[in-house]
Amino acid sequence: VRVHPIITKGGEAVSAVPADVRMETFVRGRTIEAIMDANRKVDRALKAGALAVGAKVTIQTIPGYMPLMQNSSMAEIFEANSVSLVGKENVGHVAHRTGSTDMGDVSQLMPVIHPYVGGASGLGHGADYVVEDYQLAVITAAKALTATAVDLLADGATVAGNIIAGHRPEMTRDEYLKFMRNLATEETFESE
């Protein structure tokens, strides 16, 4: 689980207690249960802190990204295609990354993969992120994805059909929509 906040407004002067402090926080995790547990703890801490000093706190919960659940059969096909392009010694597998993506939401409903390819340096989404090896990062990656699509769709899409038939989604579409809508809340707590 990762909890990482940023203060977006912290007051007007160094020598004054701020009347209005605003903060945004992401809670990310490997499972929905872990995310929800951490989210409750963050909310409880914010409420306790505000009430302890006689302040008011408004907690607005906005649904974020769901955990990414990669389909192992699709991942194996992509891995085999990657190995054929760059060699086994250049292909790795990471079970869980600490970031999040909208592909996590899609993965709750259908089988997906979200492979990562090298060829860049710097912090992802950072100012120092730069593609250094265009061939690897773009062309080779596209070849691996294309070969994976071909393998899935060959012979009347037999492999893709088997993956879909064997897949048990984490949620139905209606369950996903209900979960997201129920998560969107706003509560205000004020000391008496």
Q: What pTM does this model have? A: 0.84
- How far, in Å, CA of 80 to CA of 74, rounded? 10
| Cα-Cα-Cα-Cα dihedral sign, residues 113, 118, 119, 122 | positive
- What percent of the chain has pLDDT above 90? 86
Contact criterion met (CB below 8 Å) for 153 and 160: yes
Q: What pLDDT, in 10s, does the model give residues 17-61?
A: 888 999 999 999 999 999 999 999 999 999 999 999 999 999 999
Return the closest-CA partner of residue 85 out of 118, 112, 113: 118
Q: Where exactly are the structural domains of the chain?
A: 2-65+176-190, 72-166
